[in-house]
Structure 1
Amino acid sequence: MQTLDTQTTPARPERVADADITTAVEMLFHTKRGVNAHLIDIVTREGIVELAGFTDNLLARSRAEQLALAVRGVRGVINELVVRTQEVPDQQLLRDVELALSSDAATADYNVRCAVAQGVATLTGMVQSWVEKQLVLRVLEGVRGVRGIEAGHLDIRGSGLVNSDEEITAQIQELLDWDIRVNSVLVQVRTSQQVVHLTGTVGTAEEKARVVATAHQAGAVRVDARDLFVACWALDPHLRPDKLAPKADAEIGAAVRDTFRFDPRVLSYEPTVQVQAGVVTLTGTVSNLRAKQAAEQDARDVVGVWDVHNLLRVRAGQLLTDSDIRRDVVAALARDPYVGCTDFSVNVYNGKVYLYGRTNSHFEQEQAGAVAAGVNGVAAIENRVEVFGGDQPAGTVPAGATAPFPADGLSPDHALAARVRTCYFWSAALHAQDVEVQVDNGRVTLNGTVHTWHERKQAALDALEMGAHTVNNHLRVAAGHDRG
């Protein structure tokens, strides 16, 4: 058993060597599924990671960028990856794209039109918000054969009411103050003619991307984040006392409801929010499983929330038979770039989907469940897909690293433990956390303390992606409350 103990202090700002960052990103690309590591070239200059080469789908392109953004020491990512996907005739691809948009629970009613030429999808039409536009783009990224998306003519209409610069600034600041993932104390917001200017310091490139997204959600027509810098010292928990302190239940409830206002998947359903001792209970009715999942995740992102009891009922807005739902789920799985070639068995009873099959990794197992959850009419999912696959390949040792790294000659359990510790060592979120890793016959047990529910969840997910068969997650959050 080993405990990660690599705490740094703001008094001596840490600067991670470019060569170490490059090696860490390469290690993650080789050990985590969903990225074509052998086709990607990585160069790091002054903390900025440049990705070049190829991927075989748009989701893999996005995943490569997300993995790099979450590495400790990375200040930004330049993504120049080119998508070389399988050839799908434009007429067939257009049908697939239109079916994906019409069967997705979030985008089914959007006023979006699409044309396809040589694998590039061009979108036109109107959506209500920046978030809706992102949901449309995400659906198209998940269609096998799409190699590019042009969305310049997919306009954002909004509600017709234009907030003043002061209102936009206040909304952004309030959202950041209540977002557990962002240290808003170190971020300054200024708005001029609906252009938001962000200055200050954040701890990770991933956190910076979250701040920029929040500004867009609040109505910014453009965001200037050139003077929002990334520095490792800003991760110090002592700089984030407001994020870890208990909050009044009434304030938490109001903050949760506010987050729902900016999520179109949840907004129209107005779930009932009750809070007791930081535990949020959601009740009411939504029309799809994705909305139920989104509401819970939105609530967990709020400062002061220790746990969420999701009692939302899913009742489809339109009458769909089980055979209709099964047809749409099968089609959605077949379109997906990651699991489209996997042979799944799908059964549906009263709107509940049962998935069966075999995949090579937990990543693909989770992807299958996520794809099914996005289909209109799905009320619940029982993911019985089994994972069959060998250990993930070991990573290499960055120069000067002090954490344990995988080495030849280790037993499978010790090699797995080393991979998990390596992943935590390079994770911006988990690097300085008190996490103990034990492995017994492929089962990883995690003990110790982390600061937030997100870090607890991420630790378990990373262990699975490093090759664990199962994870016993006994991590506790810093305030002494479990987050489920």
Structure 2
Amino acid sequence: MQRTLEKTDTELQNDVLSELKYEPSIKVTDIGVLVKNGTVTLNGYATSYNEKWQAVHAVKRVAGVKAIADDIEIQLPNSYHRTDGDIASAAINQIDWSTTIPQGTVEVTVRNGWITLEGEVEWWYQKNAAGSLVKQMAGVKGVSNSISISPKVTKKEVEADIKSAFKRSAMLDAQHIRVETSGNNVTLHGQVRNYSEYDEAERVAWSEAGVSSVDNRLEVDWMF
């Protein structure tokens, strides 16, 4: 594979700013971008937790980013302010209305606009769905997803199944990813070319039935 010339910090900064402008959910004029040796620091402020999350996610899509420091502060408009009780009630209603998350499996605690999710579900996608639902709510300043996964499946060839899924993926180079399992716990080693592949590898690992934890130790090296 032909190696691409490494970007300068200025080129990377311009690419990050362009990607932020390309994301319609982000007010890019309120967010600053600093780059040093491939590490991108985001500062400024966002009007919601979801906007802050979308900004970091957009930077992950840019080739050449080696690390991300998220220093964005959330400044809620007056129309977004909610009491902790209002946020908690809205959050549990969102979760109860979801057809993805079994009722009664998730507990919600809110303190100073920060939501903590606890409880127990069988699949990672159910845990992920709960976090995705509440992070978009008005008044939310942050989300800690502490839901545990307790799969009913205990006897699966987890490692073999994940490796096969990596080989099927159009986004991943399975030859550069090593999978280790200990019971229902999965550890990923190796290299990927960008944060999109990093996230995709973790998503694939979590999607395997029986996985209760994923330790993603993949290194991002877009030059390999």
Using the size of structure 1 for normalisation, the TM-score is 0.43
Preserved contact between residue 433 and residue 450 of structure 1 (Cα < 8 Å): no
Distance 2:21 2:38 in 1: 20
Distance change >3 Å, CA 268–CA 331, structure 1 → 2: farther
Question: Does residue 1:459 correspond to 2:219, yes or no?
Answer: no
Distance 2:43 2:192 in 1: 29
Preserved contact between residue 10 and residue 35 of structure 2 (Cα < 8 Å): yes
Report the equivalent of 1:448.
190
Question: Does residue 1:380 correspond to 2:142, yes or no?
Answer: yes
Structure 2 alignment gaps of length 5 or more: none
1:380-434 superposed Cα distances (whole Å, 9 cap, x missing partner) = 1111212122238xxxxxxxxxxxxxxxxxxx46x11111111112111224431
Report the equivalent of 1:333.
95
* Shift of residue 472, structure 1, vs aligned partner: 2.3
Aligned residue for 2:166, secondary structure, equals helix
Question: Does residue 1:262 correspond to 2:22, yes or no?
Answer: yes
Report the equivalent of 1:367.
129
Distance 1:354 1:440 in 2: 28
Preserved contact between residue 247 and residue 303 of structure 1 (Cα < 8 Å): no
Report the equivalent of 1:358.
120
Report the equivalent of 2:51.
291
Distance 2:176 2:21 in 1: 35
* Shift of residue 272, structure 1, vs aligned partner: 0.8
* Shift of residue 310, structure 1, vs aligned partner: 0.8
* Shift of residue 474, structure 1, vs aligned partner: 2.2
Task: Give the root-mean-square deviation of aligned CA atoms.
Answer: 2.1
* Shift of residue 264, structure 1, vs aligned partner: 2.6
Identity %: 24
Structure 1 residue aligned with 2:179, among 408, 425, 437? Answer: 437
Report the equivalent of 1:58.
none
Distance 2:110 2:62 in 1: 34
Report the equivalent of 2:212.
469
Q: What residue identity is the alignment partner of 1:459?
A: A
Distance 2:72 2:60 in 1: 15
User: What is the 5 A alignment of 1:58-137?
Assistant: none
Distance 1:446 1:343 in 2: 28
User: How many residues matched?
Assistant: 221
Structure 2 residue aligned with 1:308, among 68, 73, 86? Answer: 68
Compare CA radii of gyration and give the structure with the larger one.
1
* Shift of residue 281, structure 1, vs aligned partner: 0.3
Q: What residue identity is the alignment partner of 2:7?
A: K
Distance 1:326 1:429 in 2: 38
Aligned residue for 2:62, secondary structure, equals coil
Structure 1 alignment gaps of length 5 or more: 1-236, 393-411
Distance 1:346 1:280 in 2: 33
Using the size of structure 2 for normalisation, the TM-score is 0.89
Distance 1:428 1:365 in 2: 25
